[in-house]
Amino acid sequence: MKRSMLAMGLACGMFTVATVHAAPQQDVYDAVEQQRQPLLDTLETLVNIDSGTGYVAGLSEVEALLTERLEALGAEVEAHPAEVYGGNTLVGRLQGNGDRNIMLMIHYDTVFGEGTAKDRPFRVEDGRAYGPGVGDAKGGVAVILHSLEVLKTLGFDDYGQLTVVLNPDEEKGSLGSRDLIQQLSADQDAVLVFEPTFSEGATDAVTVVTKGINYAFLEVKGRASHAGGAPEQGRNAIMELSHQLLQLGDLGDPDKETTLNWTIVEGGSKRNVIPEHAQAEGDMRYVDSSEYERVLNEARDITSNQLIDDTEVKFRLDKGRPPLPANPQTQALAEQAQKIYQELDRELLAAEIGGGTDAAYAYHADSPTPAVLESLGLVGGGYHSDEEYVQLDSVVPRLYLTTRMIMELSDAEAED
């Protein structure tokens, strides 16, 4: 009963503070301020450990650090192997005295290879912190840890259970952790996800809609022959692939915000050999879940029109992350976050992004719970590049926001 009442409250926007610009809750703000430098110290430690997806040695080092920190906060911690790429998904649980179940989630892997941290260690310059994964998403890890420190300082435990989920394979699709995320999220009233902001210009925002991701594969088998002596005996797979790519160029649908972009092309073996094999890979982004079937069926019809006889053409569409669609529960959480930000006299935007995140695995379309909100990590930009950064002036607001969100979501009186 409590879960359905919470869902109704979220959908109606009941879990919000007054619409006027109230002052910050001083005890919360003071406790948050005390965590500013410790958070940056934690962030420096995390950034200076290589933890690219699949680099098990570095992932294990980060895992040990995170386990120690969670246990010091009073959490019971479990490690679940994330098969495919390696590493463990950590699940830490803090028991409270209330009724509400809240999950805090982010990944601790990065896109950067071994040695990157040594070449580009954490540094602070002109109001920004730089380093591999500083925003995506080690900043989010630090926000979770230090928000829990704030709650501990305040002696706040009015939640039912706080569940912290930290996975090691998000940057390659969370193939070894997505089932666990879906399972754990089903028992939550709310899920807060700590990717950094993804809006343009490092705008202070949370994310309310993410697109789904599918992966397109196009393969052509032809016949090899000598390019100079007997080209007519060959069947040029690259030419057929090129023909197919041109035909498939309009599979997107702007009205539905569906895109399909071909991003990798490979073919041929030697300059003097008619290529017998060529392939391409593409990236599909979508909001409407029915687009998978449409694109798959249209592509198969289109590829039946071949330029070169006796070639074999295969199209495949693999499912990746689903979308986090527009929904009233997420919108209500965003409005709640915006009103908390007003306590700091700051504006918080609600953004839609083209990238997919683990928030989509936590969302259950057939249930009003959990309510899911994305991008509660630090504000920054340049993700996945040498210039990735976070803004130092976002540390206190983001810690304050997370702490207040947990406190409000735990408040049983909020629905009255």
- The pLDDT of residue 282 is 97
Residue 88 has pLDDT above 90, yes or no: yes
pLDDT score recorded for residue 12: 36
The token pair at 287 is: 């909001």
pLDDT of residue 17 exceeding 50:
no
Indicate which residue of 44, 50, 169, 170 is catalytic.
170
Alpha helix locations (H) across 137-202? Answer: 138-154, 178-185
Active-site residue among 109, 240, 374, 408? 109
Specify which residues 390 forms β-bridges with: 129, 380
Which pLDDT tens digit goes with each residue over 216-258?
999 999 999 999 999 999 999 999 999 999 999 999 999 999 9
Has 170 been annotated as catalytic?
A: yes
Give percent of the chain with pLDDT exceeding 90: 90
Across the range 347-356, mean pLDDT stands at: 92
pLDDT in tens, 180-219: 999 999 999 999 999 999 866 778 999 999 999 999 999 9
pLDDT at 413 over 80: no
User: Residue 348 in 3-state DSSP?
Assistant: coil
Say yes or no to pLDDT of 19 above 90: no
394 pLDDT band (50/70/90 cuts)? very high
| HEC string for 110-155 | ECCCCCHHHHCCCEEECCEEECCCCCCCHHHHHHHHHHHHHHHHHC
At CA 415, angle to CA 411 and CA 416, rounded to 5? 110
pLDDT mean over 116-123: 98
Name the one residue in this structure whose structure tokens are 């399909």. Answer: 260
- Residue 320 above 50 pLDDT? yes
Confidence bin at 82 (pLDDT 50/70/90): very high
CA separation for the pair 85, 54 (Å, rounded): 5
Task: Please determine, for residue 102, whether its predicted confidence score (pLDDT) is greater than 50.
Answer: yes
Position 163 scores a pLDDT of 98
* Structure confidence at residue 21 (pLDDT): 58
When pLDDT is averaged across residues 9-36 and rounded to a whole number, the result is 69
Q: Among 367, 282, 358, which Cα is nearest to 322's?
A: 358
Return the exposure string of 118-131: e unless at least 16 CB atoms fall within 10 Å of the residue's CB, then b. eebebeeeeebbbb
In the chain, what is the greatest distance between 2 CA atoms, to the nearest angstrom? 85
Asked whether 51 and 62 are in contact (CB, 8 A), the reply is yes
Give the HSE-up count for residue 393: Cα atoms under 13 Å, Cβ half-sphere. Answer: 7
Query: Residues 412, 189: contact at Cβ < 8 Å?
Result: no
Q: What is the mean pLDDT of residues 394-411?
A: 97
pTM: 0.87
Within 13 A of 215's CA, how many CA atoms are on the CB side?
9
108-135 mean pLDDT: 98
How sure is the predictor about 305, in pLDDT bands with cuts at 50, 70 and 90?
very high
Q: What is the mean pLDDT of the chain?
A: 93
Given the structure tokens 């501990």, which residue do they identify?
A: 152
Asked if the model's pLDDT at residue 161 lies above 50, the reply is yes
Tokens of 119: 């070449």
Q: Is the pLDDT of residue 5 over 80?
A: no
What's the pLDDT score for residue 289? Answer: 87
Find the range with the poorest average confidence among 87-91, 190-194, 287-291, 347-351. Answer: 287-291
- What pLDDT is attached to residue 53? 98
pLDDT of residue 24: 85
For the cut 60, the answer to whether the pLDDT of residue 121 exceeds it is yes
For every residue of 280-346, DSSP letters joined together read EEEEEEESSTTHHHHHHHHHHHHTTS-SSTT-EEEEEEEE-PPPB---HHHHHHHHHHHHHHHTTT-
